[in-house]
A and B are shown apart, each in its own frame.
Chain A
């Protein structure tokens, strides 16, 4: 029987080998992204598949979040007679945190799992090998295009989510406080700064990259037939979500350090 220390040592080895594998995968992405032939058409296809097709879900979720957060924040402000601050509060909450985070989490569920399952099933059914033997670079065609698409589309979707959430928030405020749309958006733009907007967009780029690379890595390295495909889809979502929260935490520290300099 193996002793506990041997088992632990093997697990540590395995962990670091995996980490090295992921590092090489990311490195390969950057290497191949800049090498011709460029798959522009496939990037556009993927932007449509992964970005545009996420719009209905993002619209509904973003809108509901705007309404719910406004409704939940109102009592706290009402205690101090400060409900007029609701548009400013919601603007800060939505632009700084909610829009990028909600977009990324929804995309993790929808996009990372889709990428993981799609590439995973191509891997186990030898479609990736078929590309390889046809001298078509599967990494460039499948991985680079999808990671670029998510990296470009998540920031765009974040801006859209912010707009839809603010719209939901406005409708709620308009009904209860009868605030006009002009007043609402005046307060919104007064409350947010360039740093809020740009930091959120940059954060969304990182979220998008994470979603794409995690989905592709899990799909590209999947094995064990259909079971492996299911596992790839599932772990893509879990790991992408976990990393997004870690990135959000790190980004918050960095942005706050800049803000309070």
Chain B
């Protein structure tokens, strides 16, 4: 199990959510969610498919609107701020999508340059190149710099997706199912990368997953979403070691088939 990262600032919350509710038509997905992300920690949100994990981080990123509740990100209440202020918050968020969401028509280099050129003014060609190369080196894919997304494997696409978010040096990383659809070896590599990102870029992260290996390897703290609310909050051992909850047991048994 991952050692709790020594640089976690337990006093400073970078994300704080209270009473968050979200419904789609008549289906209540989030039924009053409370959570906080502390500075420097990797928080894993566990839950079955369709429990609203992705909805939660999409609300944090301002991609979906909350029906009720407060969502405070880096000191700003994002449900009440203007589009311009939301954009300034978004620049401090890195969002790694489940399917990587790389821009198909652009090469790896262009994918990384695209946000950089738009948000960091007066960069010379040399500075842009060195930034792109540094980030690609950090994710171990410098050799793919001139490839197109279609030429990359699933794992490589994930890495480039993470690299693209890192190029703007975010304070918070949001990972949506980082290991979904990957083979076990690539999953281990991605988990390792998530920890490396935390250590090297000093990010605070929310990792949405239903993969317990990912949760165990990357999470400093784990919150479990059941029936639209967080039911468990603690380390991996706290939640799974002595649980009597059948739903949690089932989750564990399914992930770790003997």
Which A residues have a C-beta under 8 Å from some C-beta of B?
37, 118, 121-122, 125-127, 129-130, 132-136
Chain B: CB-nearest residue to A37: B118
**Which A residue sits closest to B87, measured CB to CB?**
A135
Within 8 A of A (CB), among B95-125: 95, 97-99, 101-105, 114-115, 118-119
Known: A121-B104, A133-B63, A136-B118. A126 touches B87 (CB 8 A): no
Instruction: Judge whether B90 is part of the interface by a CB distance below 8 angstroms.
Output: yes
Is the Cβ of B99 less than 8 Å from the Cβ of A125? Answer: yes
Q: How far is the CA of A130 from the CA of B102 in the complex (A)?
A: 8
Contacts of B91 in A (CB 8 A): 134-135
Q: Assess the A130–B90 pair: CB atoms within 8 A.
A: no
CB interface residues, B 197-214, toward A, < 8 Å: none
CA A113 – CA B186 in complex, angstroms?
37
| Min distance, Cβ B49 to any Cβ of chain A, angstroms | 16
Contact status B95-A133, CB under 8 Å:
yes
Asked whether A134 lies within 8 Å of B101 as measured between CB atoms, the reply is: no
Cβ contact within 8 Å between B90 and A129: no
Task: Give B18 Cβ to nearest chain A Cβ, in Å.
Answer: 22
B115 touches A129 (CB 8 A): no
Flag if B104 contacts A133 (CB, 8 Å): no
Closest to A39 in B: B118
Per the bound structure, the CA–CA distance linking A130 and B114 in Å amounts to 11
CB distance from B87 to the nearest CB of A (A): 4
Bound: A136/B99 CA distance, A:
19
Given A121-B104, A127-B104, A129-B63, CB of A134 within 8 Å of CB of B90: yes
Interface string of B116-155 (1 = CB under 8 A from A): 0011000000000000000000000000000000000000
Q: Are B101 and A135 in contact (CB under 8 A)?
A: no
Cα–Cα, bound, A133→B101 (Å): 11
The answer to the question of B15 belonging to the interface, with a C-beta cut-off of 8 Å to chain A, is no
| Nearest 4 CB-CB pairings of A with B | A135-B87, A130-B101, A126-B101, A133-B95
B168 close to A (CB within 8 Å): yes
Q: Are A134 and B104 within 8 A (Cβ)? A: no
Q: How large is the interface on B (under 10, 10 to 19, 20 to 34, 35 or more residues)?
A: 20 to 34
Q: Which residues of B contact A134 (CB under 8 A)?
A: 90-91, 114-115, 118-119, 164-165, 168
* Chain A hits for B225, CB < 8 A: none
C-alpha spacing A126/B95, complex, angstroms: 11
What would 29 A/B residue contacts be, using CB atoms closer than 8 Å?
A121-B104, A122-B103, A125-B104, A126-B97, A127-B101, A127-B102, A127-B103, A127-B104, A129-B63, A129-B97, A129-B101, A130-B95, A130-B97, A132-B61, A132-B62, A132-B63, A132-B90, A133-B62, A133-B95, A134-B91, A134-B114, A134-B115, A134-B118, A134-B164, A134-B165, A135-B87, A135-B115, A135-B118, A135-B119
Known interface pairs A135-B87, A135-B90; A130-B104 also in contact (CB < 8 Å): no
- How close is B249's CB to chain A, nearest CB, in angstroms? 33
State the CA gap A134–B90 with chains docked (Å): 6
Residues of B within 8 A of A126 (CB): 97-99, 101
Q: How far in angstroms is the closest Cβ of chain B from A136?
A: 6
Q: Is the CB of A133 within 8 A of B103?
A: no
Of A122, A127, A133, which one neighbours B90 at CB under 8 angstroms? A133
Task: List chain B residues, Cβ under 8 A from A133.
Answer: 61-63, 90, 93, 95
Interface centre among A129, A132, A135 (most CB of B within 10 A): A135
Cβ of B92 to closest chain A Cβ, rounded Å: 10
Hey, which chain B residues are within 8 Å of A122, CB to CB? Answer: 103-104
**Complex alpha-carbon distance, A129 and B96, angstroms:** 11
Return the chain B residue nearest A126 by Cβ: B101
* Residues in B neighbouring A121, C-beta threshold 8 A: 104
Question: Given the complex of chains A and B, what is the CA–CA distance between A132 and B118 in angstroms?
Answer: 13
Give Cα A135 to B87, complex, Å: 5
